Copies of this chain bind each other. A is one copy, B any other.
Amino acid sequence: MSTHEIANAFAALCKAGQFQEAGERFWSDDIVSIEAMDGPMARCEGRAAVDAKGAWWYGNNEVHSVVTEGPFVNGDQFILRFAMDVTPKGQARIQMNEMGLYTVKGGKVTEERFYYGS
């Protein structure tokens, strides 16, 4: 699959709310996931670490909805935009705007890097 094909398939799964399926299908075994934050979740390497981050996220946030836009493609990378309606545990409901930059190598996503709007 070309980067365009992977980007389209990954985006289609996200648009259907199947974020976990998108990762299972397209993450490389040595996926690196980079957040714009300090702490242990800032850089996760490998499927087990990235799965653990996902479990932490869903365990600590009630996700009301996510709207995915994209993909936007250049070379071996694509960008998705996420508009999220979320209630972090014990906090007020918030609207988050996030970009995900995905790098593809050998038909798999080898890196995902997240950027946050203010």
Which positions in A face B, CB cutoff 8 Å? 34-36, 69-75, 77-79, 81, 97-99, 101, 113-118
Copies in the complex: 2
| A34 x B74 contact (CB < 8 A) | yes
Interface centre among A34, A99, A118 (most CB of B within 10 A): A99
Q: What are 15 A-to-B residue pairs whose CB atoms are below 8 Å?
A: A34-B75, A35-B74, A36-B75, A70-B117, A72-B97, A72-B116, A72-B117, A73-B115, A73-B116, A74-B114, A77-B113, A77-B115, A79-B79, A79-B101, A79-B115
Query: Are the CB atoms of B78 and A115 closer together than 8 Å?
Result: yes
A74 to chain B: which residues have CB within 8 Å?
Answer: 34-36, 113-116
* Cβ-closest chain B residue relative to A34: B74
